[in-house]
Amino acid sequence: MPPVPADWARHTPYSDPGSQAALLDVLEPTDRGTGAVVRNLIGHYRAEADQLSPQTQDEVNLRWVAEMLGRDQDRHGAAALTDPRPLASRLQGCCRDHTLLAVSILRQHGFPARSRVGFASYFVPGWHHDHVIVELHDGDRWRRVDPEVAPDSGMLPDPLDIPAGPDSPFLTAAEAFRAVRAGELDPESFGVAPGHPLHGEGFVLAELFWELAHRYGDELLLWDDWGAIPGPEEEMDAALLALLDEVAALLIAADAGDTDAETRLHSLYTSDDRLHPGETVRSFSPVGDGMAEVDLRR
């Protein structure tokens, strides 16, 4: 059966706080408060690199919330998650980690929440950064929240309620995929950052794999590789592009409330080995050397 909102209130292996659950139990699970907590715990490994220690760079590869919280507690002497952390002593991570921790807090309190992978146009004018944000169900609808952006930053009109759709400041990977395939958006404006080698049409097409995986609880790192994901210099063959065209269409339809599309999408993801990860992934860490094979079994 395809998931319904209540299913996204349950932890995945990645969001499960494990032995650190008590740290989340005492938090108030508001979208505003949750964002403040994750910004207090995590510094961005690229945007704030000059204020973070090179000795802790490996933290960007922490996959599970339980391990993230354990590392924080080891460093801060079992301090409450709301106790201020100097930036230099925060965990190193990225948008995936801000979002996963926020999702974990919300799920711990019974709120349906999931991570959405796509592209944000509100960091650098004219550029679409690959990005991950929270989508929570407030009882009436799925609402998009960027926990990495403070509400008073002025970066977004309201980072606690980001509009959806093709004109949104955040495009899902499926929306970006469709727009690039249709020639409506320039693929050269999509990527990790302006001037970064990871950008362009191939990057946009590959991002669809991460969006699909995160939707169904495989909240992997943004540099993990599995199934049919092509390498940076590889082109997708016609059969794979046709499959991803179908995936993108189903994702967009499911977001619009089409339950049949959600059913088909979930079935496709779980049954097609080209789309979902197995017991291992290939990881190309931005702070490591080359590729590492990672066993996902805990």
* Domain assignments of the chain as residue spans, ordered by start: 5-295
Helices (H), the chain: 21-25, 31-41, 65-76, 95-108, 173-181, 201-215, 238-255, 259-271
Task: Tell me the pLDDT of the chain (298 aa) as tens digits.
Answer: 778 999 999 999 999 999 999 999 999 999 999 999 999 999 999 999 999 999 999 999 999 999 999 999 999 998 999 999 999 999 999 999 999 999 999 999 999 999 999 999 999 999 999 999 999 999 999 999 999 999 999 999 999 999 999 899 999 999 999 999 999 999 999 999 999 999 999 999 999 999 999 999 999 999 999 999 987 778 889 999 999 999 999 999 999 999 999 999 999 999 999 999 999 999 999 997 788 999 998 6
Helix (H, G, I), strand (E, B) or coil at 19: helix
CA dist 297 to 32, 205, 272, 277, 278, Å? 33, 28, 20, 12, 10
Pairing of strands 128-137, 113-120: antiparallel
Match 């080209």 to its residue by tokens. 274
Structure tokens at 224: 């993990």
- pLDDT tens figures, 232-273: 778 889 999 999 999 999 999 999 999 999 999 999 999 999
| Length of the chain counted residue by residue | 298
pLDDT at 289 (0 to 100): 76
- With a CB cutoff of 8 Å and minimum separation 6, the contacts of 104 are 11, 15, 16, 17, 24, 65
